[in-house]
Amino acid sequence: MGLIIQKFGGTSLGDAEKIHRAARRAIRAKLEGNEVVVVVSAMGGSTDTLVDLAYQITDRPNRREMDQLLATGEQVSIALMAMSIHHAGHDAISLTGGQIGLRTDRTFGRARIREITQRGRIISLLKDGSIVIAAGFQGVDAGANITTLGRGGSDTTAVALAASLGADVCEIYTDVDGVYSTDPRIVPEARKLDYIFYDEMLELSSLGAQVMHSRSIELGKNYGVRIHVRSSYTDAKGTDIVKEWSDFDQVIVRGAALKRNLARVELTNVPHQPGIAGEVFTRVAERNVIVDDIIQVVHEGGNTADISFTIEAPEIEAAQALCDEMAVEMPGMTPEIKPHRAKVSVVGVGMRTHTGVASRMFESLHQADVNIENISTSEIVISCVIREADGERALRAVHAAFELEPS
């Protein structure tokens, strides 16, 4: 007898028939002798509809009220899921984020979980024989305001519950049958992975793979939760997201990802003095612009330097305002923002112990006639900033170069 968390995403709850299907899964796990907690997202597309409605009312919705609104999507699905299980003759009870005691900070729209206070209540409901249905994505702050965890945040609710209850596994049910070596919509040869390590999954999520909410992987890693991503439509085994172990099949690159909608900010002829980088990036941070891949090159003579960094396209306006301001304060400095950039990356813990990965990646991009504008590396990632128009071709090229296709 085990304790299983089953999380169903919006596409797995698109209509009444799909809700019944998800309910049958939960019932089956229960009949197999497990205690079952189901975490649900809003029904497919409904969160987008709510966001859209808010923007029909105002182009600046209040953040607290936005969370109040968005949390309703999950409240619909928990109740319907519980009804479906009742309809099949089994016990179930639905609980909102507040009712499971999912406490967060007060950052509306992307709140962080602090604790789950109603663990005892959940356990006693399970002991009484109920399937417990919890609303994903939502919580409450210390002042009982409803908060949400950020788009895709139901995954994080599921993993947090798994950690808190000591579940044997956290199953993530979705419309694909697992985690792929890259996006199969762009690269049809992409391969389903049997397993992937937390760190690899974390990197791939932040580099553009839209499989799971990054914070859920972080939590999974910190608490050692076994996560299993699988299809709601079949019984096929999916992908395990697990703790690192030395895999003897010597996989060097586990996956490749493409992140679009980026821009590169270039500040040319910045005075080369102590404190300038600090000054520039303090101002960037004050405007809440998130930056990546910072490069500084000092000119000959050592009086001036160029600083460049990557931002996401929605931040271009804020970055432009900042550039204009700095251009006035630093005579001689020329700012330029280059839009329509993308980043292609390869990820794998095997890079720690193998050489030649970078050269193979660059050579494959060369063969595909893709110009690399910037390179950044970390222990388990190599990323290249390229033109957005080259993105898909670049992803196909690196994916093939590392033989990530099925053999």
Residue list 3-22, contact with Mg ion (CB under 5 A): 9
Nearer to Mg ion, 101 or 178 (CB): 178
Residues 43 and 11 sit within 8 Å (Cβ to Cβ): no
Q: Tell me which of Mg ion, ligand ASP, none is bound by residue 10, counting a contact when its beta carbon lies within the kind-specific cut-off of 5 to 8 angstroms.
A: ligand ASP
* Minimum distance from residue 71 beta carbon to ligand ASP (Å): 9
Nearer to Mg ion, 30 or 213 (CB): 213
Cα Rg of the chain, angstroms? 23
Number of residues this chain uses to bind ligand ASP (CB under 6 A) = 12
Q: Tell me which of Mg ion, ligand ASP, none is bound by residue 42, counting a contact when its beta carbon lies within the kind-specific cut-off of 5 to 8 angstroms.
A: ligand ASP
Residue tagged 């995403």 (tokens): 9
* Minimum distance from residue 140 beta carbon to Mg ion (Å): 22
Q: Tell me which of Mg ion, ligand ASP, none is bound by residue 97, counting a contact when its beta carbon lies within the kind-specific cut-off of 5 to 8 angstroms.
A: none
> What is the Cα–Cα distance from 47 to 70, expressed in whole angstroms?
6
Classify 167 as helix, strand or coil: coil
Element holding 331 (H helix, E strand): none
Per CB under 5 A, 153 contacts Mg ion: no
> Which of 6, 12, 34, 47 is the binder for ligand ASP (CB under 6 A)?
47
Per CB under 6 A, 136 contacts ligand ASP: yes
* Minimum distance from residue 49 beta carbon to ligand ASP (Å): 10
Q: What is the DSSP string of 181-221?
A: SS-TTT-TT--B-SEEEHHHHHHHHHTT--SS-HHHHHHHH
Per CB under 6 A, 41 contacts ligand ASP: yes
Angle of the 198-206 helix axis to the 214-223 helix axis, nearest 10:
160
Residues 154 and 9 sit within 8 Å (Cβ to Cβ): yes
Per CB under 6 A, 153 contacts ligand ASP: yes
Residues 193 and 255 sit within 8 Å (Cβ to Cβ): yes
> What is the Cα–Cα distance from 341 to 198, expressed in whole angstroms?
28
> What is the Cα–Cα distance from 53 to 45, expressed in whole angstroms?
13
What type of residue sits at position 225?
A: V
> Which of 26, 42, 82, 193 is the binder for ligand ASP (CB under 6 A)?
42
What type of residue sits at position 171?
A: E
Q: Tell me which of ligand ASP, Mg ion, none is bound by residue 208, counting a contact when its beta carbon lies within the kind-specific cut-off of 5 to 8 angstroms.
A: none
Per CB under 5 A, 139 contacts Mg ion: no
Per CB under 5 A, 101 contacts Mg ion: no
Q: Which residues bind ligand ASP (CB under 6 A)?
A: 9-10, 41-42, 47, 73, 136-137, 151-154
